[in-house]
Structure 1
Amino acid sequence: MSKPVNKSVPTDSEAILGILNNSEQMLKRLYAAYFPMILQLVLNNNGSQDDAKDIYQEAIIVLYNKVKAGNFELSSKLKTFIYSVCRRLWLKRLTYNSRYATSDIKDYQEYLPVEEEVDDHAERSLQFDKMQVAMEQLGEPCRTIIDDFYIQNKSMAEICERFGYTNADNAKTQKYKCLQRLKKLFFQQ
């Protein structure tokens, strides 16, 4: 018999401990407790429910990474921290999408100015998205060569054999050309 999910709002220390222990139940409790305020924030500021879900998920990833790093000190209520991170991420997205010209945002909760780590997370996320688009535009065999070498960690000898190059140096030259094309596609965005 499965244990029922505790729907109550967790204390901040329970939430942090749950995150440290990779508790899926705790993530569900956090979602039930705090997503509605993020949904209201996003809907009140030119967003959709899907936007709110994306922003909330990104904020939880920021929280998770900070907690797992071991140096997370909560200087406010967890609710305020999550709201502040979501607010900052939503402002960044609005600015990026040019749907909003100023940094005015309709708030109904207290918020904290959050650290540059949120900006760094948003920037990394943007860079990953750009790289994914560039990889999709790259075409074959370059996409597979880049994936095999950098993601699958295959050796040049394995790549040489897979694509029928006469030697590893030819495969290396092809990989270099593919990498140059990928860089060009990435920076054209």
Structure 2
Amino acid sequence: MDQIRELLNNARAAFERLSNRERQMVLATGGAVLAFVLFLILFSFSNSANGYRKRTDQKLAKLREVQTLAASYRQATEARQAVEQQLTASNVRLMSYIEDKATRSGLTVPNMTPKNDVGIGDGQIIESSVELTFTDVDLRKLHTFLQDVESGPGVVKVKNLRLEPRAASETLTAWTTVATYRMKQ
């Protein structure tokens, strides 16, 4: 502590020996050095704060991305479970189902050919399908029939549809494949 006082006293004595002009120059230089040091300190703090802000923003962006992915994963999982539940509950007897829907639509199915059950994807879903042929059928009745088939219970879909119009009688011949799906037991 005494050494610091001695240095300050020596500096004060040296400063007092200077002329007015020299004192002004020393004060200006000291002020410039002090301003430069303050600038360096403030610049350093500013860069440090900007770095913290940037890292925080990056982490917040990653957090938002994780939340978005978690929400979409949750939705996909819920959708998959709903479809699996629908497939598990599906117990449609396709031949009688089609005959019933055809009768309600005012159609008769002259040719109905069942196909073998097929595993789909990883084999956990079973597809049962029937090929149908309609001859001389009215387009409105066919449309009603196909719409009723797909709106029934379980998962029943019209997979293929081929139409051949008959202009003379204003009817058509239709070939279609109707399939139902269920979970493997």
Higher-strand-fraction structure? 2
Higher-helix-fraction structure? 1
Instruction: Give the alignment's TM-score, normalised by structure 1.
Output: 0.21
Which protein has greater RCO, CA pairs closer than 8 Å, 6+ apart? 2
Q: Which protein shows a greater Rg?
A: 2
